[in-house]
Structure 1
Amino acid sequence: MADYTQFLADEAASLAFAQKLASVLKPSLTVYLAGDLGAGKTTLTRGLLRAWGFAGTVKSPTYTIVESYELDGFKVEHFDLYRFQSPEEWLDAGLDELFDDNTIALIEWPQMAAGFVPAADVTVALSVQDAGRLCTIIPHTELAQKMLSPCL
């Protein structure tokens, strides 16, 4: 499965790319959002949610661990595991109960719950490059490859 990389010059480019990505992502997918602090993971999430019709505030779940969004016909669970001290916190918090076939899971810092967090269908890796961001999409499953191919 081939990776896809695109330079996103500014926030507007990130939001436009998120809209394109949102058009192909479907429920039952687990998406890892990789990147350092400030790489643009929440901006990308906000762009995805706007494209899916969510008009409210989109905030990073750094302190709440998860932000849930009920959308038209599916839900999005946006996790931020940065503050986890041990992987077992995933189970202790009951986060595995938030997954079903009607959910798109967006998970920041999945390595903090290694061994407990669901495997990724796709990873979106963001890194700061000059004034913009470098975005690499890495499909891990055939399902993800099929979904992403029209958009990439």
Structure 2
Amino acid sequence: MIKHKKIVCKTEENTRFLAKMVAKAAKKRDVFALFGTLGAGKSTFSRYFIEHLSGATEIPSPTFTLVQTYDAPDFEIYHYDMYRLKSPEEAYELDIEEAFYNGVSLIEWPEKLGSLLPKDIWKITITTQGAERVFDIEAFGEEKSKRLEEIFVE
């Protein structure tokens, strides 16, 4: 089962609110795959998501470190930037399978993972329309689909 929602964020504050709502639905072992071009807003969305769950205020992009980890009350958050990966196998060096099992993963440039990317994920595709950001959120799996619906019922 796949549920799908499309949301237009006209301001960065709208993006912050959306990230907070999605973060509230996050559970241990969730993988959020963030697709979009350079500058689409993947890091901004991730920053607000992490800020809401962990309370962290210093949230650097993992562009050079490839992964940053944050403590949330119920799990760890792993924020990956796969842009610089040359092959999917390099992700093993980042303990990505452990992250999939033990925490919540936010992955920028997930297409670099190839078949390592789990099937039962939250797929968030971000596109730009002028200053606006369009978030196309797909929840794969029945349980995630229910949670996606709940996000937008509140």
Task: After the TM superposition, list the runs of 4 or more consecutive aligned residues in structure 1 that deviate by more than 3 angstroms.
Answer: none
1:44-74 Cα distance to aligned partner (Å, 9 max, x none): 1111122214233112111111110011121
Alignment of 1:14-53 (within 5 A): 14-53=15-54
SS at match of 1:99: helix
Alpha-carbon distance in structure 1 between the residues aligned to 2:96 and 2:25: 25
For 1:82, give the aligned amino acid: Y
Alpha-carbon distance in structure 2 between the residues aligned to 1:144 and 1:12: 25
1:142 counterpart = 2:142 = yes
Cα distance change on mapping 1:135 and 1:111 into 2, 3 Å: same
For 1:34, give the aligned amino acid: F
Equivalence for 1:9: 10
Alpha-carbon distance in structure 2 between the residues aligned to 1:21 and 1:142: 16
1:59-116 Cα distance to aligned partner (Å, 9 max, x none): 2111111110011121110111110111111124433233324x11111111112122
Q: Is the CA contact (8 Å cut-off) linking 2:126 and 2:133 kept in structure 1? A: yes
1:58 counterpart = 2:59 = yes
Alpha-carbon distance in structure 1 between the residues aligned to 2:98 and 2:33: 18
SS at match of 1:2: strand
For 1:144, give the aligned amino acid: K
Equivalence for 1:107: 107
Alpha-carbon distance in structure 1 between the residues aligned to 2:4 and 2:117: 22
1:11-57 Cα distance to aligned partner (Å, 9 max, x none): 11100111111121211111101111111111111111222142331
CA RMSD in angstroms, aligned pairs only: 1.5
C-alpha deviation, 1:120, in angstroms:
4.4
SS at match of 2:106: strand
Cα distance change on mapping 1:93 and 1:75 into 2, 3 Å: closer
SS at match of 1:27: coil
Q: Which has the higher helix share?
A: 2
- Percent of matched pairs sharing the same residue: 29
Q: How many residues align?
A: 151
- Segments of 5+ residues of structure 2 without an aligned counterpart are none
The range that moved more, 36-45 or 113-122, is 113-122
Alignment of 1:73-112 (within 5 A): 73-101=74-102, 103-112=103-112
